[in-house]
Amino acid sequence: MEAVVCKFGGSSVTDAEGIRNILSVVQLDPRRRFIVVSAPGRRGKTDKKITDLLYLCHELAGQGLDIDEPFHLIRERYLQIAGELGIGLDVEKLLSDLDERIRAGAPRDFVASRGEHLCARIVADFLRARFVEAADHITIGAEGSVAEGSCESLRSALSGEGLYVIPGFYGAGPDGAIRTFSRGGSDITGAIAARAVGAVVYENWTVVSGFFMSDPNIVANPKPMRTVTYREIRELAYIGANVFHEEAISPVSRERIPINIRNIHYPNDPGTMIVHHRDTKDRAVVGIAGKTGFSIICVEKLLMNTRVGFARRLFSILEEYGISFELAPSGIDTMSVVVSDQRLKGKAERVMEDIRRQLEPDRVEITSGFSLIATVGEGMAYRPGIAARLFTALANAGINIRLIDQGSSEINILVGVETADFENAVRAIYQAFC
């Protein structure tokens, strides 16, 4: 029988009602047999995520300080959820053990992982499903890479009938100790599970009905993004639309398993489908994303094009300071490097000094207050007139374009504008294409 993996994010398991919603979703489709859960997230703006509280407990314990206050919040939350669901699991006992282990100096990743672990135990009990311990199957190597064999191991653990619940966010390191992915990593667990069971779709349940074609804080009532390709979503994530953990795409995209972003409060909404291939005839551009907070370092030197190693030396200065860059458009005698303000913070003067000393440029300057806007769509390739439409829209809105970059894959046109023009520019491009 076809299988569907459903991952429920922290915002959909904040309380008992959220977990009851999981039951309703599962009952709507018998293929939904594999459930991955995050730790309970925030119930409101002033609330704290369980994972953040666990990190705090670990930090306090490490400094020999009292963890009573944050641990009390964790305890209350789980006891309330378990109490309202009326489950038989001894959550009180699990919490006391955890409390003891944190005070005894349990490692950071272990402590953080308990948010998902406890949540999955509760959900499994409530759904009368089998709990599968992620750490017994998923091995996480250096820099969060998933070790070969994790999928196969998980596949055999999930091969029976009925419902399964798997905690997200963690596995075990090569030494067997609990190890977490980076923040938001339950998406990755969901993707591994989807690959393991050969799911027909990987459903990612959140509290939004998928993505919009642009940021609703900038564009009033943007259209929903119904279908988008893996490549397009990567390009959009690169510049801001980050709802889905980027490392979660590769396990499913390799197998061409579609990812469906769904809203737990509106389970009948189709949400956004992330697929391998979409028909681009009806829509060339799929989304417009942007980000503020960039600076441009511009270096000018006559006959730069004839000097061997100029770019390498410029980039190695950035490398020495541990600064990665966004893009580097260049002219015959100029090179510009776009860097996020955050990465440059506290280092700008020293970087400039090194450029002056090592490259002896005719001119070098840093301009801040810069924003980037990505107009993304696989349908732009080999279709004349797209760039003209974009630049006309910006010209008509009276916006000066400070920088243009289009890769040869023609999937993304990036423009740089002054931050004062940013929102107007996004709106103008949206009107032109959506």
Indicate the residue among 39 and 432 with the shorter CB distance to ligand ASP. 39
Q: Shortest approach of ligand ASP to residue 217 CB, angstroms?
A: 22
Dist CA 225 CA 278 (whole Å) = 12
Q: Shortest approach of ligand ASP to residue 380 CB, angstroms?
A: 32
Dist CA 119 CA 417 (whole Å) = 45
Dist CA 283 CA 408 (whole Å) = 20
Residue appearing with tokens 């107007």: 424
Indicate the residue among 36 and 304 with the shorter CB distance to ligand ASP. 36
User: Rounded to the nearest 5°, which phi and psi values hold at 412?
Assistant: -145, 125
Dist CA 326 CA 373 (whole Å) = 12
Indicate the residue among 184 and 210 with the shorter CB distance to ligand ASP. 184
Indicate the residue among 34 and 169 with the shorter CB distance to ligand ASP. 169
Q: Shortest approach of ligand ASP to residue 51 CB, angstroms?
A: 4
Dist CA 130 CA 415 (whole Å) = 50
Indicate the residue among 31 and 42 with the shorter CB distance to ligand ASP. 42
Return the closest-CA partner of residue 206 out of 429, 405, 366, 25. 25
Q: Shortest approach of ligand ASP to residue 11 CB, angstroms?
A: 9
Q: Shortest approach of ligand ASP to residue 365 CB, angstroms?
A: 39
Q: Shortest approach of ligand ASP to residue 183 CB, angstroms?
A: 4
Q: Shortest approach of ligand ASP to residue 10 CB, angstroms?
A: 4
Indicate the residue among 168 and 251 with the shorter CB distance to ligand ASP. 168
Q: Are 257 and 199 in contact (CB under 8 A)?
A: yes
Indicate the residue among 14 and 51 with the shorter CB distance to ligand ASP. 51
Amino acid at 130: R
Contacts with ligand ASP by CB under 6 A lie at 10, 38-39, 49, 51, 115, 168-169, 183-186
Q: Are 45 and 73 in contact (CB under 8 A)?
A: no
Sheet order of strands, 164-167 included: 130-131, 164-167, 32-37, 4-8, 201-206, 259-263, 272-275, 227-229
Residue 106 buriedness (CB in 10 A; 0-12 / 13-18 / 19+):
middle
CB-based closest residue to ligand ASP: 186
